[in-house]
Amino acid sequence: MIFELIKKRRSVFPVQYNDKPISKSDIKEILEAANWAPTHKKTEPWRFKVLMGESKTALGKFLSDTYQEKDPKPKTVTIKKLQENPNRSAAVVAICMQRDPMESLPEWEEIAATAMAVQNMWLCCAEKGIGSYWSSPGLIKFMDEFLDLAEGERCLGFFYMGYYDGELLEVTRGPIEDKTVWM
């Protein structure tokens, strides 16, 4: 049932991943789920760049080097995390959004559509027992130096994926009644 899957979805961080690889066919299926997100005016703004193997190492190096270059007081723990997270992951997907060149709709709607595509990926990962996490570090504004971004395309973050061992913590939510006004 979809409601149970939605409640099962969790952020699973790269430090929790094991070494089990994710098949290319599973990644393609996860991306295909993303492709079925709602899209206003059919702009389909989501774009994905899948990093596996050596490209993950290059991403970690780029992120840690850029952080050290841009931050006047870089923290050793952050440097290490930026270097290690991509390699701890079976795959990293750069989440990008291609702005409609005609600007026929507000940018936030294309960002929202891309976020819905990522939610589809996340649910697909949850169903397959693959841990995943959307990270949006401040460094994404520099990703045009690393990724081959088209004109009007920008990086919105990274979707880390990997298998994990053990059970995930139970998550609770406050009552929906506290967040709803019936009119």
What does DSSP assign to residue 105?
S
Complete domains list, the chain, with CATH: 10-164 (3.40.109.10)
pLDDT tens, residue by residue, 43-56: 999 999 999 999 99
Structure tokens, 63:
């992120």
pLDDT tens, residue by residue, 65-110: 999 999 999 999 999 999 999 999 999 999 999 999 999 999 999 9
Q: Which residues are annotated as a binding site?
A: 9-11, 40, 134-136
Residue with tokens 């149970």: 4
Q: Round to the nearest angstrom and report the end-to-end CA distance of the chain.
A: 30
Sheet holding 130-135, edge to edge: 46-51, 91-98, 153-163, 130-135
Q: Which residues are annotated as a binding site for FMN?
A: 9-11, 40, 134-136
